[in-house]
Chain A
């Protein structure tokens, strides 16, 4: 800088640094850089004025536009809800039966229901609603707590054995563990229960077990599962005569169920899903069911 020496060939000033006779040129910064720097400065001044920017001790400058990301997201949610309102209002107002009779609305229910189901229910009940070990298949006609849309909507709202005050509650007692039944009697009940859904198993069971099991069943199990073992949706007792099992229908699993009891848990969705979403889900699930056999 202080070296006011101009390079002979380029006409630029040198920095005064010299290595074996080679001198460093003090080439000026290109004008374009200054130009963009200036634009950036002007932009930032505008940004400071319009947007929330500078901290001021215990507060901050709010900006002339008054933008707040929290309000923006609320507005966009409201706009989205408004955009859907043409059909959401109809679904909210109409009864399950009326919606089911309206093909256009049911198309929307199928589309939206699939998304809501995928985000919330698929983790347990599977992407295709066919359940898994310990999680009921929702495409069958065998529903623990009733399979009409009203009953499904209520189950979604309160859950099963959940902390919700209106929760559906149900518990299969631990007949073996709590010594309500003797081990030999449990084997007989298992033989009888298996024969209900699959009569061919009666042949391989110990002779007399099925008949003896029937008596023990009538005395201990029929209160919830019913005299005919077809279950009772008032107490969430499953139908034992169909081919659908939540935990499994083999000897080992049924013995395990009788021995240790079962207490399935479904969360309540009242705090998480809107009444509209729950209504759509109930309709979606009712619609997904296989036709009655």
Chain B
């Protein structure tokens, strides 16, 4: 039984190849099929992409480490579905590079936070969570409201996302900075371009309550308000399963 192994142990290259082969079985079985099995990612023809402002907000979410305490993944468990809403589908993270599912909940899950609370609440809460929820342990992010959002590099961010498969058009990339401004300034001439390029369902409003200024708060609130609303595939699949 061990004769083969004893012989293998004496050949350095043979043993190395053997180790690589055995160690890759897990990956081959668990990861490789995701690229070939169609059922792993559901169809969602109505899936929208993040607007430049939402993408900027997503980058702030990553920069501030929100994912360390908040997950964006509602698991197929009764308590999670009853508290947060329909369980998360793979397709909902289709344009998330990198994904922000998270692995720990100090705060609640945020996968369906979009439009659950008002913009005013998000601004007050991010500015100082204790102002609206006395028992909160979340840190205050008061500089977001005072920091102007950097928009000159958003075209490059969109381009990078396109390189990994997000279907941004040349038009979207060229107008990224303008669209970021327009989405938070509904009265401005740039606002129409946002709906035109990203669809009527896009939230266009002064997220931080000040239409003239584009702050990091605008971006982060725009991102939070779209979470769970890029597609309604999750609601549909639950309704289908319920029948």
Contact = CB atoms under 8 A, between A and B. Distances in A.
Interface of A: 1, 54-55, 57-60, 69-74, 76-77, 80, 119-120, 122-124, 126-127, 132-135, 163, 264-267, 271-272
Given A1-B6, A123-B132, A134-B124, A73 B77 contact: yes
Contacts of A59: 37, 39
A167 to B, nearest CB: 12
A70 B36 contact: no
Given A55-B32, A267-B116, A77 B82 contact: yes
B200 to A, nearest CB: 11
Nearest to A268: B115
Most buried by B among A54, A55, A57, A264: A55
B33 A60 contact: yes
B5 to A, nearest CB: 9
Contacts of B2: 1
A70 B37 contact: no
A74 B241 contact: yes
Nearest to A28: B2
Pick the 7 closest A-B CB pairs, nearest first: A55-B33, A265-B118, A1-B6, A73-B76, A76-B78, A69-B76, A74-B241
B135 A127 contact: yes
Given A74-B241, A77-B78, A265 B125 contact: no
28 contacts: A1-B3, A55-B29, A55-B33, A55-B37, A58-B37, A58-B38, A59-B37, A59-B39, A60-B37, A69-B76, A70-B241, A72-B76, A73-B76, A74-B238, A76-B78, A77-B78, A77-B82, A80-B82, A123-B121, A123-B125, A124-B121, A127-B135, A133-B131, A134-B120, A135-B121, A135-B132, A267-B115, A272-B116
B118 A266 contact: yes
Most buried by B among A126, A134, A266: A134
Interface string B77-91: 110011101010000
B37 A132 contact: no
B186 to A, nearest CB: 13
Given A77-B78, A267-B118, A119 B83 contact: yes
A224 to B, nearest CB: 21
Nearest to B33: A55
B208 interface: no
B242 A74 contact: yes
Nearest to A119: B83
A58 B118 CA distance: 44
A70 B132 contact: no
A133 B131 CA distance: 8
A198 B173 CA distance: 57
B119 interface: yes
Contact of B132 (A57, A119, A124, A266): A124
A77 B135 CA distance: 30
Interface residues of B, number: 37
Contacts of B242: 74
B37 to A, nearest CB: 6
A218 B237 CA distance: 55
A124 B33 CA distance: 45
Given A126-B133, A134-B120, A267-B116, 11 more contacts: A1-B6, A55-B36, A58-B38, A69-B76, A70-B76, A73-B81, A77-B81, A123-B117, A124-B121, A127-B133, A135-B132
A77 to B, nearest CB: 6
Interface string B17-60: 00000000000010011001111000000000000000000000
Contacts of A77: 78, 81-82
A74 B237 CA distance: 11
A52 to B, nearest CB: 11
Nearest to B78: A76
B36 A132 contact: no
Nearest to B123: A134
Contacts of B238: 74
Contact of B133 (A55, A71, A123): A123
A189 to B, nearest CB: 23
Interface in B107-160: 115-121, 124-125, 131-135
A54 B29 contact: yes
B183 to A, nearest CB: 15
Nearest to A134: B120
Interface string B216-243: 0000000000000000000101100110
Contacts of B120: 134, 264-265
B85 A265 contact: no
